[in-house]
Amino acid sequence: MSEILKPRARKVKILATLGPASSKPAVIRTLMVAGADAFRINMSHGTHAQKAKLVEAIRQLEKDLHRPTTILFDLQGPKLRVGDFAGGSSEVETGARFVLDRDRTPGDARRVELPHPELFEAISKGDRLLIDDGKVRLKAVEVHDDRIVAEVMVGGTLSNHKGVNVPDVVVPIPALTDKDRKDLAFALEQKADWVALSFVQRPDDVAEARELIGNRALLMAKIEKPAAIERLNEIIALSDGVMVARGDLGVELPPEDVPPMQNKIIAASRQFGKPVVVATQMLESMINSPTPTRAEVSDVATAIYDGADAVMLSAESATGDYPVEAVQMMDRIAQSAEQDPVYPGRVHFTETVLEATTADALAASARQIANTVSAQGMVCYTSSGSTARRIARERPPVPILAMTALLQTARRLGLIWGVRPVHTRDVSSFEEMVAKGKRMALRHKLAAGGERLVLMAGVPFGTPGSTNVIHVVRLAGDELERHQPKQP
């Protein structure tokens, strides 16, 4: 059955992770109808065959619901883990000495294998080692070629293959493992719209992934290491977007430092005009509960007030008991925040300095014009998506209808604030541009008869990066009547 989804009553986007709780086509459809604008496929779990079925289901829904839909493949990245314990686990006591070595013998309360030789070169006396998301905390007191002697600052239970974080060190390993390279090749075969790169520490990590991806997908850098914060602007400049991955970031930073870091990353991304996604534990309690905590609701709203392009659901939609309810809740929170009278001021609290380009000058002018003439929407024609992104950077007061002849571009715009991507045939003249802009605005309920639109395009048409026209039009009342769907 074919239908057209109603336009979203919000500008921030919802990125929902798919998993065991949401892998069936019927559930994915329900998530999309409930408010999911884009889908994340987590390559840390499952097989390529399972992921291919998810892509197939999304692309079929895209056709059925007439909505270009974004697919983001999230690469696992290198995971540092301890080895095995005799009996599967062991208790380590606060104040005791504990050794991490290269001996494969199963560990106990005094030692365990650390199967990452590069760490023995990187760790120095005084550096911290956080195990199992920081539940057990160690501090190196001696470092040798084959063992690290540590003091247990916070004890607890250690079990097989728990993760290790080293917040004080730039780990000398690449962001792409052999598994990641295979997963990346698969994602590109599946025509991924975005690829998220985990464990980014330095600009070189992004450059390596960019070389492999080329122009076949957009690249999102996940900011989850303190080392990445130190070179944030360089990383953003090389990326197409960033994700505030608060999971590992919250392990490696003191909890009280995460909110200002989140704000800093959002502000920097806004300045570059790159989309920013806020992720991890946004509605965590909805994994097992049909309603979130009030604190979680405030957390999501804060990201929206700060101007994030998208907010993400992880386990809530992938493995939780209430995936659809989580998307619906995220949608309601976003609508409530954006309807708040203080929202326009809050979202512009971060000042975006214009670059000395025609595109930025026109984007800023278009936003001012939309305000001045009380336009109901903005319509832009774009080949690469750049025009839509530069307009979105200005956070205009109205939705942006981004029309493109390239389905790939329409899909990639699904994570951009305020943008409603439309895949349509290209135009060849100014008159055709105006007529189609009006027609699409009516069809997608962007405006009604008597209301104004601000149109942007580049002349000559079809030339990427040539945006040079702003045009204000008013929809006549008879146009609304002509474009109403006929009753059977």
CB contact at 8 A, 403 and 483: no
- Per the annotation, the verdict on 17 as an active-site residue is no
Which phi and psi angles does 330 have, rounded to 5°? -60, -40
Cβ-Cβ contacts under 8 Å for 83 (sequence gap 6 or more): 104, 106, 107, 112, 113, 114, 115, 160, 161
Q: In whole angstroms, what is the distance from residue 158 CA to residue 24 CA?
A: 36
Q: How many CB atoms lie within 10 A of CB 66?
A: 12
Q: In whole angstroms, what is the distance from residue 129 CA to residue 127 CA?
A: 7
Which phi and psi angles does 316 have, rounded to 5°? -55, -40
Q: In whole angstroms, what is the distance from residue 416 CA to residue 146 CA?
A: 48
Q: In whole angstroms, what is the distance from residue 9 CA to residue 418 CA?
A: 10
Q: What is the DSSP string of 438-455?
A: HHHHHHTTS--TT-EEEE
> Which residue's structure tokens are 């690449």?
174
Which listed residue (69, 280, 387, 467) is catalytic?
280
- Per the annotation, the verdict on 390 as an active-site residue is no
Which listed residue (59, 81, 202, 439) is catalytic?
81
CA dihedral 443, 446, 450, 454 (to 10 degrees): -120
* Nearest Cα to Cα of residue 175 among 143, 147, 198, 142: 198
163: which DSSP letter? B
Q: Radius of gyration (Cα) for the chain, nearest Å?
A: 24
Q: Which residues of 164-203 are buried (b: 16+ CB within 10 A; e: fewer)?
A: bbbbbbebebbbbbeebeebbebbbebebbbbbbbbbbbb
Which listed residue (40, 162, 412, 436) is catalytic?
40
Sheet of 467-474, strand order: 419-423, 400-404, 377-381, 452-458, 467-474
- Per the annotation, the verdict on 40 as an active-site residue is yes
Which listed residue (222, 246, 411, 420) is catalytic?
222
Q: What is the DSSP string of 187-221?
A: HHHTT-SEEEEPS--SHHHHHHHHHHHTTSSEEEE
Q: Which amino acid is at 250?
A: G
- Per the annotation, the verdict on 389 as an active-site residue is no
Determine how β-strand 276-279 pairs with β-strand 111-113.
unpaired
Assigned token pair, 411: 């899909």
Assigned token pair, 326: 């989580």
Q: Cite the active site residues.
A: 40, 81, 222, 280
